[in-house]
Amino acid sequence: DQQVKQNSPSLSVQEGRISILNCDYTNSMFDYFLWYKKYPAEGPTFLISISSIKDKNEDGRFTVFLNKSAKHLSLHIVPSQPGDSAVYFCAASSFTSGTYKYIFGTGTRLKVLA
Amino acid sequence: EPEVTQTPSHQVTQMGQEVILRCVPISNHLYFYWYRQILGQKVEFLVSFYNNEISEKSEIFDDQFSVERPDGSNFTLKIRSTKLEDSAMYFCASMGTGRNIQYFGAGTRLSVL
């Protein structure tokens, strides 16, 4: 079941530059997408989300873009900081059986080099 | 800031034993979830719980698993007879109404020997 894919397991970026993390999905029923950040020994921490009726959402240094026709979303971090180094998961959800469940991608490990 | 609390942080058990993983969701949240992450793999949905009943469960969530909200604050996941392949990080999450954002606890690492 590969409904949500993150094809890059790792990414290294210089401090101050842009980090771009990508995510693809297959199920057109997904209507809400989220990015979570995870540090070792901690749970996923919510970062930013986007509804399927939008194509962009921005929050400070973080911007999420959604291309519904391509079933693709991306997370841009500008400028990248060493504290951004973590594993980033995209998640897709739809409202089924009276609740939202998340389908997660496999994660991308971001390393921001000082 | 309110947070989801999970105990214990690490649970070691023998194969065949029962374990109970505990979670205290954010106090005004109504939707509760369990996910697991096997080492090196993705976070997988196990079960969702709303209004004192399971609303959805995955194929992983077989008869060995059960969830309960025994009082107004705790949400538990019980594994009746643990198997080696149950070794994983188990994450509890909760969500309020009006906004589709789940907040996760720090997880319980379950090691089945």
Q: What is the DSSP string of B42-56?
A: -EEEEEEEETTEEEE
A31 Cβ contact partners less than 8 Å away, ≥ 6 residues apart: A51, A52, A93, A94, A95
Find chain A residues with C-beta within 8 A of B102's C-beta: 46, 100, 102
Find chain B residues with C-beta within 8 A of A93's C-beta: 100
Rg (CA), chain A: 14
Structure-model confidence comparison of residues A40 and A38, the more confident one: A38
Structure-model confidence comparison of residues A95 and A63, the more confident one: A63
Structure-model confidence comparison of residues B1 and B88, the more confident one: B88
Decide if pLDDT at A36 tops 60. Answer: yes
Under the banding of pLDDT at 50, 70 and 90, the label for residue A96 is: confident
Residue entry with tokens 């969500």: B95
From the list A49, A101, A107, the residue facing B45 with the nearest CB is: A101
Mean pLDDT (chain B, rounded): 93
Using the beta-carbon criterion (under 8 Å), do A100 and B45 form an inter-chain contact? Answer: no
Q: What pLDDT is attached to residue B80?
A: 95
A12 Cβ contact partners less than 8 Å away, ≥ 6 residues apart: A110, A111, A112, A113
Residue entry with tokens 């929050």: A59
Under the banding of pLDDT at 50, 70 and 90, the label for residue A1 is: low
Single-letter code of the amino acid located at B30: L
Contact A34, A21 (CB under 8 A): no
Q: What pLDDT is attached to residue A40?
A: 85
Instruction: Compute the average pLDDT of residues A42-56.
Output: 94
How many Å lie between the alpha carbon of A48 and the closest alpha carbon of chain B?
9
Residue B23 at interface with chain A, using a CB cutoff of 8 Å: no
Q: What pLDDT is attached to residue B97?
A: 86
Find chain B residues with C-beta within 8 A of A99's C-beta: 31, 48, 50, 55-56
Q: What pLDDT is attached to residue B20?
A: 97
Kindly list the distances between the CA atom of residue A59 and the CA atoms of A18, A20, A81, A109, in Å, as whole numbers in the listed order. 15, 15, 15, 21
Decide if pLDDT at A2 tops 80. Answer: no
Using the beta-carbon criterion (under 8 Å), do A34 and B41 form an inter-chain contact? Answer: no
Using the beta-carbon criterion (under 8 Å), do A99 and B103 form an inter-chain contact? Answer: no
**The pair of three-digit structure tokens given for residue B90, joined into one six-digit string:** 């188990």
Mean pLDDT (chain A, rounded): 94
